[in-house]
Every structure is written in C-alpha cells, then in structure tokens.
Amino acid sequence: MEREDEGDEGARSFARLIEQVADGDAQRALSDELHALCTRLREEAQARGTDVGGELTLTLKLKVEPSDVVGVSYEIKSKLPGPRRSKGVMWLTKGGNLTPSNPRQQRLPLKEVGGAEREVRDVAQTTTVKEL
C-alpha cells in the first residue's frame, strides 16, 4: 500500500517534543541539570568576584525506520568553568628555550651594600588630628 505525501506540516514546538521524549524523563533530567549548573555558576561567580560561564548541551539522536517509527535517544552534558589558575610570563631564547628573564633586557650589576648594623625600632603613631 502506497501512501500519498501529506505535504509539509511546518515546524512544531520543540518544547513539546522534549516533554514527550522518554515519557518526560528527558525534560526532567534537562531541568535538573540546568538548575545544578546555574547553582554552581552562581557559587563560582561569587567566590571569584567575576563573571563565569558554563555550557549545557542536549544531544538528540533520531533513528527513523521505513515504517515511520522514530526512535529518540538523548544525552545531556554540562560544563562548568575550569579552576582559576594564575598565568606566568616567559621569554624565548635565541635557541628556542623558555626563560623567566627577558634576554633582550640589560642586567644591572647589583652588589651587596655593607654597612653598620642598625637597631630596628618602631615608629610611634600620632593619635592627634590637626584641623586645617
């Protein structure tokens, strides 16, 4: 039996599809993952005192059979910002190696200055305020 082409129906709601995948399990898992990601991002932003970003990825895999039965599987991944790490600066030598000192910068001839040892003393703090 040959079917007639019913024509293009146009796009339907993606949100409705997600609600129906795996009897609603996909929608619940996606909502839980989004909530966990947002909570963690808030904590990181407050701890770092700066903006942080993350990612939430939904992958849908569709497998269509000749009888128009469609198998739908899904995968959800979230990505938090990595740990904050300090950066260093290094220079390349002419030989292609890294060095912590700029090879093009002149070095100062520093030497130890000798002298009489002095007694360490505290400087008194003034507690009076003068008005102008």
Tell me: the pLDDT tens digits for 1-60? 455 567 788 888 999 999 999 999 999 999 999 999 999 999 999 999 999 999 999 999
What is the Cα–Cα distance from 48 to 40, expressed in whole angstroms?
Answer: 12
Q: What is the pTM of this model?
A: 0.58
Amino acid at 132: L
d(CA 58, CA 77) in angstroms, rounded, equals 7
Residue 74: which pLDDT band, with cuts at 50, 70 and 90? very high
Residue spans of the domains in the chain: they are 14-79
Mean pLDDT of 63-85: 92
Tokens 């993606």 identify what position?
14
Rounded CA separation 35/120 (Å): 58
Both structure tokens of 70: 């469609």
Q: Nearest to residue 101, comparing CAs of 88, 87, 90, 86?
A: 90
Task: Measure the CA–CA gap between 41 and 47, rounded to whole angstroms.
Answer: 10
In whole angstroms, what is the distance from residue 38 CA to residue 44 CA?
Answer: 10
If we measure between CA atoms, which residue out of 65, 69, 58 comes closest to residue 18? 58
